[in-house]
Amino acid sequence: MVFWKKNTEKVDEQIDAFRTKGVDKTSKELQAEKGEGWEQVSMIPGVGNLSLGSFNMFYDQYINRAHEHEFAKIMSYREMSLYPEIADVIEDGTNESTQVDHDDRVINLQIMDGALSDNENIVNNITREFNNFFYQQLNRFPEKLWDMFRTYLIDGRVYYERVINEKKPTEGIKNIKKLPSETMDYVYDPGTGEILGYFQYLKRGGTRPKTIQEAEKRDDVILFNPTQIGFINYGIYGRNKYDILGYLEKCRVPYNQLKLLEISVIIYRLIRAPERFVFRIDTGNMPRDKALKYVEKIKMKMAKKQTYNSQTGQLSMEPEVFSMLENYYLPQSADGRGSQIESVGGNTGGFAELDDLYYFARKLYRSLKYPMSRVEAQQQGQSGDAMFGGNSTQEISRDEIKWAKFLERQQNKFEYELTKLFLMHLEFKGLKREYELTEKKIKCQLVPPSNYKEQMEQNFLESRYNNYQALADRAEISKYYLMRKFLKWSEEDIQENVDGLKKDAKYGFVEEEGGGGGFSDRRLKENINFI
């Protein structure tokens, strides 16, 4: 059996330039820390039904077909994404996850290491490089991020290539290039979980290479070193780690149900909608066979009419089109017996009865984790605005919070990948090693999808201030205690407040008593001395 092994030789100059960039642990370190378990038991030789002799058969039947299976899955996801309801959800999720802040920035740098943040010179250098990288060097990065996030929600994965100038690697990563998901493939070590290489197939129908050396020699396959490719996937797998289940996988069944129901409802209601006439032909006391012939004669006479063509002089029979506006004159006997015409009412109002469609539509939205408050508002003809901006936390829809948290989890995956990208750029520039930067010290942070956290925090602050105000005038209760208990102030916060009160008096921000309702100097001194 041949396992995938990381190629230690240089594949080409571009791969060699990436080989040690952005890698915190070497292959030997990963092997030493892999543990004893295997992530994919079916890849272990001699275990279960997979032995050395049957590996080729297993490879051809399962591994080699994995890419074809993923290709069909991605195509089905893209077909589902064209459905209006699903397309709206993907659009909302993408827009909310890649929105900009008040400074028109889609991504910001967060320094988490205290010692690093205290060094103003290092912070300025890293921040300047961050702004230059994401907002200048990566051309139109906000638009690329939007496109990548949308592809991620549809395909369940997104691949991009990190592009450098081979002749000037010290300039860092010059650009990122999104690659078609359906053409990409990868192989990983089932022991460590480390991805050993990426492939891009240049034509359909090819077989997966069995070794990296084979991939290097093939003209229909492009081999990438792991550090060349950025890869983000939904994180849920099926039979193995090659079987990626995307965001749209859960809505596959309700999507098919709703689509089939819509088609069947349209066919049924179009058939039932037209009105039909019932003709009761008076046949008197005719025998049954004569009665049937007479009815058929009347039927043919009323179903067709003769038309005269003045140019050719020919008579022709054309079908009679009955409508509710036409009048029909039928003979009637002296005793009042005669033919009658009745209309069978069609179901013209059937399209207003959509409860069954709404049921499956809500089921579809639930599978997508979309807020049901928006869905129900749309179905009732309302605007569907989220319930933000109230004076209590109860006015924030729970579905909105769940939707925001779901998008934040997806943002975390992009933040982790973008942090790796930025650290790799700093490695090329020589700054990563100089400042000893790691993923635990800095982080690339996207703008949160909604302001529900700030809204809730503001509501909690108002409650704490109200509680403090209600007890602040009580002489038996210490204001220091109230500040620590209700305002959650630290010793430093309280001291800063005292210093601030002194500066207010120094710069004349405190008015005299009777001069506008502010603090007097006497009350200010009492407040400071009391604290």
How far, in Å, CA of 494 to CA of 530, rounded?
Answer: 12
Burial of 417 (0-12, 13-18, 19+ CB in 10 A): middle
Residues 241, 281: one domain? no
Do 177 and 230 lie in one domain? The reply is yes
* Residue of 218, 174, 213, 188 lying closest to 200 (CA atoms): 218
- Average pLDDT over the chain, rounded to whole? 77
Residue 320 lies in a domain: yes
Q: Which domain holds residue 197?
A: 1-82+157-246
pLDDT in tens, 96-129: 999 998 889 999 999 999 889 889 999 999 999 9
Last residue of a domain, which of 345, 362, 393?
345
Question: Which of residues 319, 345, 371 is at a domain's end?
Answer: 345
pLDDT tens for residues 192-207?
778 888 999 988 777 7
Query: Which of 328, 345, 362 is the C-terminal boundary of a domain?
Result: 345
Q: Is residue 523 part of a domain?
A: yes
Lowest mean pLDDT, pick from 61-65, 177-181, 338-342: 61-65
Q: What spatial distance separates the first Cα and last Cα of the chain, rounded to whole Å?
A: 77
Whether 45 and 6 share a structural domain: yes
Give the whole-angstrom CA distance, residue 121 versus residue 420.
22
| DSSP β-bridge partners for residue 221 | 201
Q: Supply the pLDDT for residue 493.
A: 86
Structural domain contains residue 403: no
Lowest mean pLDDT among 85-89, 279-283, 362-366, 527-531: 527-531
Which residues does 217 contact at the CB level (< 8 Å), separation at least 6?
none
44 and 182 co-located in one domain = yes
* 75 inside domain: yes
- Residue 522 belongs to some domain of the structure: yes
In a domain, 465, yes or no: yes
**122 within a domain of the structure (yes/no):** no
- Predicted confidence at residue 80, as pLDDT, reads 96
Contacts of 356 (CB under 8 A, 6+ apart): 261, 265
Within a domain: 26: yes
Domain count, the chain: 3
Claim to verify: residue 162 and residue 67 sit in the same structural domain: yes
**Are residues 279 and 233 part of one domain?**
no
Q: How far apart are CA 386 and CA 374, in angstroms?
A: 7
